[in-house]
């Protein structure tokens, strides 16, 4: 009798067991996600480094070379794996689309938070949400049937190129940047605006000199976030950029980005060959850049946290 | 120029910008719907696609998209539910939690093509599953997890602490409080998030071209044995989805009516995503009404 009471008091209760079970179950889920991230980083990095370790390509000629023809060899007997055309292409479309999208995003965000919150909520908010929902291949298809011919008519040439890519990416990142900018403007305390208006400033002066300035870190984060999206976008860009692995001489001749060469090439190469490894190196650049964008948003957030 | 004039000009410009954005969306939608909807017919939705001839449909692709979506959700919802519960209910403020949050952030910012290539490497090649539905569904699961986890966590966090205290005061364990009180209360938010994620997954293509593949073999819709190779349910067959189909026929340029087929398929894709969005809003409202007696 006594021993059974002792047992009941000292042993784990049913509830405590259930609790341990539940906690471990949810921990396993989270551990799984962390494991996935670590293995993505590890596998992509190890495949991407193989170009340099197994095939003996120098990092300099990979990052700085302008000739891309992995199945051919240059005059010096080295494989032609210069990735600079793609790297340039990727950065160009990213920066250009961000430069075009930022004023629009800020304008829309100011409109929604300062000028006409009612109309903003009723019309602009759902519009932006719908724009986010449109799949990227649809953007690519519209780019192919509308933007490319339009560029061709205005500037001549084939129409494929950086400019068409910029247009498509501009529409794609606009909703992301806008909604994040709105969040940034909403965190500016109300009394900032009241103080400025009380000093006799007009609404625009208040927006320009007070609200936007104190929201700069948030707006920067939004822009960097949009750039990260633009940099990693694959199919929509691939459909309109022309996919010629040449240094972009102007904005309307066919060019290429890291993602476009990756999507085109991966299916046509044999695993483990140089042609394949060098594609993984491109993927590694994408991965590293996405980490860089991530760190940038963190730094901005830390430096500009509103006091 | 005085301050008042500047204010007027700025206000006008801002109205113009807002107008331009609304115009962009409407012209996008109008373009797709006007071009695509006339092409949609029962035959288009159910027929096989053609490679060299006109008049192909999108039947198998449409089925593949939905099948892949269901499998992806089957994998990703339980995992992100568990992960979200851990983050909102159990996680302490320490370096482990920081690491976990960083990992989720990194995963959510990875380009989907990189996730797709990882899936290609692991599921298609290492596991030897080839281009198959299962590889595609697992790749999409990885792509879907971070966002869904965050939605679950946010919805759980929005439930007031008093609910948890009430459960604990009744003698429930923490796990019981979470599963019996907090999760049901957060269900509208979670469901909305799941449906919105479904819209995203439905339109995703970059992560699929090297995992689920770019070919849609003939399906025998009379054969529902998952083990048979022509069965629609077989998870080890290659499966081109609707989004991948649009991308592929535009890239190849050998289908004579590629533009018409892509317009029709794009319209189907957009209408489906819109329906998901509307459903999410509607369900969220209905469940909220039912569960709160508001």
In a shared domain, residues A210 and A107: yes
In a shared domain, residues A263 and A114: yes
Q: Give the pLDDT score at A305.
A: 62
Nearest to B235 by CA among B227, B244, B247: B227
In a shared domain, residues A39 and A94: no
Closest-approach residue (CA) in chain B for A230: B111
In a shared domain, residues A141 and A209: yes
Q: Give the pLDDT score at B156.
A: 92
Query: How confident is residue B294, by pLDDT bands cut at 50, 70 and 90?
Result: low
Q: Give the pLDDT score at A249.
A: 76
The torsion angles phi and psi of A305, rounded to 5 degrees, stand at -55, 130
Q: Is B208 left (phi over 0), alpha (psi -120 to 50) or beta?
A: alpha
Query: How confident is residue B26, by pLDDT bands cut at 50, 70 and 90?
Result: confident
- Whether residue A233 lies inside any domain: the answer is yes
In a shared domain, residues A35 and A91: no
| Domain hosting residue A6, numbered range | 2-48
Domains detected in chain B: 40-293 (1.10.3720.10)
The set of residues, in sequence order, having a beta carbon less than 8 Å from that of A166 and lying 6+ positions away, is A92, A93, A96, A97, A100, A251
In a shared domain, residues A186 and A297: yes
> B14–A26: do the CB atoms touch at under 8 Å?
no
Whether pLDDT at B69 is above 80: yes
> B111–A286: do the CB atoms touch at under 8 Å?
yes
Tokens (6 digits) for B105: 């952030």
> A290–B110: do the CB atoms touch at under 8 Å?
yes
In a shared domain, residues A101 and A14: no
Q: Give the pLDDT score at B280.
A: 83
Tell me the mean pLDDT in the region B24-43.
84
Cβ–Cβ contact A295 with B under 8 A: no
Q: Give the pLDDT score at B217.
A: 74
Alpha-carbon gap: B222 to the closest alpha carbon of chain A (Å): 31
CATH number at residue A227: 1.10.3720.10
Classify the C-alpha dihedral B116-B122-B124-B125 as positive or negative.
positive
A-B contacts at Cβ under 8 angstroms:
252
* Rounded Cα distance, B122 and B47, in Å: 33
Q: In chain B, which residues have their Cβ closer than 8 Å to the Cβ of A234? A: 111-113, 206
Q: In chain B, which residues have their Cβ closer than 8 Å to the Cβ of A47? A: 121
Whether pLDDT at B255 is above 90: no
- Whether residue A263 lies inside any domain: the answer is yes
- Whether residue A63 lies inside any domain: the answer is no
Q: Give the pLDDT score at A158.
A: 81
Q: Give the pLDDT score at B180.
A: 87
Query: How confident is residue B85, by pLDDT bands cut at 50, 70 and 90?
Result: very high
- Whether residue A236 lies inside any domain: the answer is yes
> B81–A146: do the CB atoms touch at under 8 Å?
no
Q: In chain A, which residues have their Cβ closer than 8 Å to the Cβ of B110? A: 40, 232, 287, 290
**Residue A79 β-bridge partners:** A73
> A146–B79: do the CB atoms touch at under 8 Å?
no
Q: What count of other Cβ atoms lies within 10 Å of the Cβ of residue B259?
A: 16
In a shared domain, residues A16 and A97: no
Q: Give the pLDDT score at B238.
A: 83
> B106–A293: do the CB atoms touch at under 8 Å?
no
How would you write the pLDDT of chain A (307 residues) with one tens digit per residue? 567 888 777 887 888 888 889 889 999 999 999 999 999 999 999 988 888 888 777 887 778 777 787 777 776 767 777 888 888 889 999 999 999 999 999 999 998 888 888 888 888 888 888 888 888 899 999 998 888 888 888 887 788 888 889 999 999 999 989 989 998 998 899 999 999 999 988 888 898 889 999 899 889 999 999 999 999 888 888 888 887 777 777 777 888 888 888 888 887 777 778 888 888 889 999 999 999 999 998 888 887 665 4
Cβ–Cβ contact A38 with B under 8 A: yes
Closest-approach residue (CA) in chain A for B113: A234
| H or E element in which residue A72 lies | strand A68-73
* Rounded Cα distance, A262 and A279, in Å: 6
Q: Give the pLDDT score at A6.
A: 81
- Whether residue A61 lies inside any domain: the answer is no
Q: Which residue has the higher pLDDT, B60 or B103?
A: B103
Q: Give the pLDDT score at B293.
A: 59
The torsion angles phi and psi of B107, rounded to 5 degrees, stand at -60, -40
Q: In chain B, which residues have their Cβ closer than 8 Å to the Cβ of A296? A: none
Interface of B with A in 167-196 (CB under 8 A): 172-176, 178-179, 196
Residue % of chain B over a pLDDT of 90: 17
Domain count for chain A: 2
The torsion angles phi and psi of A79, rounded to 5 degrees, stand at -60, 145
Alpha-carbon gap: B224 to the closest alpha carbon of chain A (Å): 30
Interface of B with A in 202-261 (CB under 8 A): 202-206, 209-210, 214, 243-244, 246-247, 250-251, 259
> A115–B24: do the CB atoms touch at under 8 Å?
no
- Whether residue A29 lies inside any domain: the answer is yes
Interface of A with B in 137-156 (CB under 8 A): 137-138, 140-142, 144-146
In a shared domain, residues A296 and A210: yes
Bridge pairing between strands A68-73 and A79-81? antiparallel
In a shared domain, residues A229 and A145: yes
Interface of A with B in 235-254 (CB under 8 A): 235, 238-239
- Whether residue A117 lies inside any domain: the answer is yes
Interface residue of A141, A205, A292 to substitute, partner B, most B CBs within 10 Å:
A141
- Whether residue A237 lies inside any domain: the answer is yes
Q: Which residue has the tokens 């949609």?
A: B40
Q: Give the pLDDT score at B70.
A: 92
Q: In chain A, which residues have their Cβ closer than 8 Å to the Cβ of B173? A: 15-16, 18-19, 22
* Rounded Cα distance, A100 and B20, in Å: 13
In a shared domain, residues A151 and A15: no
pLDDT tens per residue, range B197-244: 888 888 888 888 888 878 777 777 777 777 777 777 777 888 888 888
In a shared domain, residues A186 and A246: yes
């Amino acid at each position: 009798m006594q021993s059974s009471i002792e047992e009941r008091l000292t042993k784990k209760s049913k509830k405590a067991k259930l609790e341990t079970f539940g906690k471990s179950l949810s921990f396993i889920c989270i551990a799984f996600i962390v494991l996935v991230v670590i293995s993505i980083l590890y596998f992509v990095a190890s495949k991407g480094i193989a170009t340099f370790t197994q095939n003996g390509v120098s990092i300099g000629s990979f990052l700085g070379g302008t000739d891309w023809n992995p199945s051919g060899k240059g005059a010096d007997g080295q494989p032609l794996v210069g990735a600079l055309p793609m790297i340039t292409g990727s950065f160009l479309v990213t920066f250009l689309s961000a430069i075009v999208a930022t004023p629009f995003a800020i304008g829309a965000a100011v409109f929604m938070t300062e000028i006409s919150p009612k109309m903003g909520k009723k019309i602009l908010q759902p519009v932006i949400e719908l724009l986010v929902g449109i799949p990227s291949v649809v953007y690519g298809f519209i780019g192919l049937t509308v933007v490319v011919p339009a560029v061709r008519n205005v500037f001549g040439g084939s129409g494929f190129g950086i400019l068409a890519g910029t247009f498509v990416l501009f529409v794609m990142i606009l909703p992301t940047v806008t909604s994040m900018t709105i969040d940034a403007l909403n965190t500016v305390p109300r009394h900032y605006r009241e103080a400025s208006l009380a000093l006799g400033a007009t609404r625009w002066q208040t927006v320009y000199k007070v609200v936007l300035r104190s929201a700069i870190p948030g707006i920067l984060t939004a822009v960097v976030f949009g750039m990260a999206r633009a940099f990693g976008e694959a199919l929509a860009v691939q459909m309109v950029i022309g996919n010629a692995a040449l240094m972009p001489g102007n904005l309307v001749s066919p060019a290429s980005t890291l993602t476009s060469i990756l999507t085109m090439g991966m299916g046509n190469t044999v695993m483990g060959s140089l042609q394949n490894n060098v594609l993984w190196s491109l993927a590694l650049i994408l991965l590293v850049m996405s980490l860089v964008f991530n760190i940038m948003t963190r730094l901005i957030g830390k430096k500009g946290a509103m006091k | 120029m005085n301050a008042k004039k500047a204010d007027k000009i700025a206000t006008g410009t801002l109205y113009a910008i807002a107008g331009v954005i609304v115009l962009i969306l409407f012209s996008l939608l109008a373009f797709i719907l006007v071009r695509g909807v006339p092409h949609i017919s029962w035959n288009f939705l159910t027929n096989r696609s053609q490679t060299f001839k006109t008049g192909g449909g999108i039947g198998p692709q449409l089925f593949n998209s939905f099948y892949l979506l269901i499998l992806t959700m089957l994998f990703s919802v339980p995992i992100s539910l568990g992960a979200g519960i851990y983050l909102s209910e159990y996680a302490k403020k320490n370096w482990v939690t920081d690491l976990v949050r960083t990992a989720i952030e990194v995963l959510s910012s990875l380009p989907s093509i990189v996730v797709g290539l990882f899936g290609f490497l692991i599921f298609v090649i290492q596991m030897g599953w080839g281009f198959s539905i299962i590889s595609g569904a697992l790749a999409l699961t990885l792509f879907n997890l971070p966002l869904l986890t965050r939605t679950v966590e946010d919805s759980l966090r929005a439930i007031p602490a008093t609910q948890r205290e009430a459960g604990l005061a009744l003698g429930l364990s923490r796990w019981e409080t979470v599963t019996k009180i907090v999760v049901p209360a957060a269900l509208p938010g979670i469901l909305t998030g799941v449906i919105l994620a479904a819209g995203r997954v439905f339109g995703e293509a970059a992560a699929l071209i090297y995992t689920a593949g770019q070919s849609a073999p003939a399906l025998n819709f009379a054969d529902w044995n998952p083990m048979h190779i022509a069965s629609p349910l077989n998870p080890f067959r290659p499966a081109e989805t609707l989004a991948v189909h649009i991308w592929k026929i535009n890239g190849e340029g050998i289908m004579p009516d590629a533009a018409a087929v892509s317009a029709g398929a794009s319209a189907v894709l957009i209408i489906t995503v819109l329906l998901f969005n509307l459903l999410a809003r509607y369900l969220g409202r209905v469940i909220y009404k039912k569960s709160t007696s508001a």
